[in-house]
Copies of this chain bind each other. A is one copy, B any other.
Amino acid sequence: MGRVLIVGSIALDTVQTPYGRVEEELGGAGTYASCAASLMAPVRLVGVVGGDFPQEHLDLLASRGIDLSGVERRAEGRSFRWVGAYSGDMGQAKTLDTQLNVFADFQPTLPGDYRQTEVVFLANIHPQLQLNVLEQCAAARFALADTMNLWIESEQAALLEVLKRVDLALLNDAEVRMLTGANMLPRAARAVLELGPRYVVIKRGEHGALLASREEFFAAPAFPLLDVRDPTGAGDSFAGGLAGLLARLGKMTWDNLRRAVVVGTVMSSYCCEDFGLRRLQQVTEEDLLERYEILRGMTEIAAWNEPSVGQQ
C-alpha cells in the first residue's frame, strides 16, 4: 500500500450555517483531506500551527495514524483562523474573516522520509508553494493539486506551472470556467488537460463531480443527502478520499481513478453531515462501502438491448 502526502492549511474555523454555529472548530484543507485519506492509506501531513493550537486537535489527527512530523509548530505564533457563513443552498461560503497568522509565511519543508511518498495532494495554497513541494518530492508517482479563484486571477503563471507538473487538477465549476474561458464544462475540462495534467476533476458541489482524461469522461453524482449541516471541507474531503484510494490501490488506472472519485464523493458526503470533522472522523470502511454501493446503484444504466427494450 502506498502513502499520501498532504500539504495544506490547518485551521481554527468559526462557521455559521442554517443548522447552527461552531467556534474555533478544527478545520483547514490539510486537516480535512488528511482525515479522509487516512481511512484509506497512511498519511503524512505538512502544515503549520501556532502556539495556541489545541493539542487535542493534533492528538485527534495522530490517533488516525496521520504522521505529523511535517507539521511545524510555532510557539510564538497564532494559528490560521477562518470565519465563514453559509445560507440558502449552501453552495458557496461567504468568508467573513481570514487571519492567516502563521500561515502567512508558511514555507512547506518536507522531512527527508516524506520525499518518497507515492501520492501527493497539494491542497489550496499559493501555487509557488505548491511548486516548491513538487520539487521536494519529485519521486512521487501521482500528484494532484487544488487551487482557488484568487490564484487563477493573481498568480496565473505559477499556477500554469503547477498544472504542467501534476497528474490531476481539481477545480470547481466556476474556477474551471475562469481558468479556461470555456463556458461548457466538458470543453473547459479538455482545455485544462491541454495545460498539462493527465486528468482533471471538476467539482460541482451538490451536482457531483466530472472526471476527464483526454479520451473519456466519468460523471459521479453527489451522494443524495437530505440535509447538509456544514459543507466546509467537502472539497478537501473529496480530494483526500480520492488520493487515499489511489495510494491504497497503487495502480493509477482510469478505472481506479473512477473508483477514487466515488470514494471522494462518499467522503465529502459524510463531511457535510455535521460541523467540522465531527462526522467524517467517525466514518468506517463499512460506512464507506455502504454509500459506495448506493452510488453504484443510483447511477447504473440498464442496457438498451435487453428483452423489454425496443419492443412491446
A221, B221: Cβ atoms closer than 8 Å: yes
A217, B298: Cβ atoms closer than 8 Å: yes
Interface string of A223-238 (1 = CB under 8 A from B): 0111110000000000
A301-B309 contact given A89-B183, A186-B224, A226-B184, CB 8 Å threshold: no
B186, A226: Cβ atoms closer than 8 Å: yes
Nearest-neighbor residue (CB-CB) of A292 within chain B = B304
Q: Tell me which of B187, B218, B302, B309 contacts A226 (CB under 8 A).
A: B187
CB distance from A102 to the nearest CB of B (A): 36
Determine if A243 is an interface residue (Cβ-Cβ < 8 Å): no
Q: Collect the chain B residues with CB atoms within 8 Å of residue A296's CB.
A: 301, 303
Nearest-neighbor residue (CB-CB) of A297 within chain B = B216
Distance, CA A291 to CA B1, complexed state (A): 38
Nearest-neighbor residue (CB-CB) of A224 within chain B = B186
Residues facing B in A241-283 (CB within 8 A) are: 248-251, 255-256, 258-259, 262
Report the interface size class on chain A: 35 or more
Distance, CA A183 to CA B202, complexed state (A): 22
B302, A300: Cβ atoms closer than 8 Å: no
CB distance from A277 to the nearest CB of B (A): 21
B183, A301: Cβ atoms closer than 8 Å: no
A90-B226 contact given A219-B208, A312-B250, CB 8 Å threshold: no
A259-B299 contact given A183-B88, A207-B208, A312-B1, CB 8 Å threshold: no
A183-B90 contact given A216-B298, A304-B293, CB 8 Å threshold: yes
Q: Collect the chain B residues with CB atoms within 8 Å of residue A18's CB.
A: 183
Nearest-neighbor residue (CB-CB) of A245 within chain B = B309
CB distance from A216 to the nearest CB of B (A): 7
A177-B89 contact given A1-B312, A221-B221, CB 8 Å threshold: yes
Interface string of A55-97 (1 = CB under 8 A from B): 0000000000000000000000000000000001110000000
Q: Collect the chain B residues with CB atoms within 8 Å of residue A259's CB.
A: 301-302, 304, 309
Between A and B, 7 residue pairs with Cβ closer than 8 Å are A18-B183, A184-B206, A216-B297, A218-B299, A219-B298, A220-B301, A299-B300
